[in-house]
Amino acid sequence: MENINSLQTLSPMVAFYSIFLAIFMGALFMHFAFNFKFSPKQFAIYLESIQQTPLYALTLPIAIVWTEKHVRKTAQENCRKAMELKGNEAANHYFTIFERPAGRMLKD
């Protein structure tokens, strides 16, 4: 369960990185597609102007904190629901989660 929570918490990092990389690569591709005539100094300025690192550094911690709160809330709700189960419901919950073959979990 802890590994799943960790993956869910870190998933915004992958999404943010992919978005910012796509924006940067699109702007870099635009330079070569339209054959801009930049001097080496102008090209360096162009690369620095399309760079998304400062924005990435500011928004990623916000996204991770928000996601961590969401994951924690979801885990607490699941724990509360599991604790409210009585007798046969608890046994069925246990067998459903822990003793189901991996192949059947994907089909349900």
Residue pair 85/93 in contact by the 8 Å Cβ criterion: yes
pLDDT tens, position by position, 22-52:
988 998 888 888 888 888 898 888 888 888 8
Say how many residues make up the chain. 108
DSSP designation for 99: S
* For residue 102, pLDDT beyond 60: no
**Stated pTM of the model:** 0.53
> What are the sequence ranges of the domains in the chain?
2-107
**List of residues 6+ apart from 92 with CB closer than 8 A:** none
pLDDT (0 to 100) of residue 101: 57
Residue 45: count of CB within 10 angstroms of its CB: 12
pLDDT (0 to 100) of residue 108: 47
Q: 8-12, 19-23, 58-62, 81-85: which range is least confident on average?
A: 81-85
Alpha helices in 34-101, H assignment, sequence order: 40-50, 53-84, 88-98
* For residue 99, pLDDT beyond 70: no
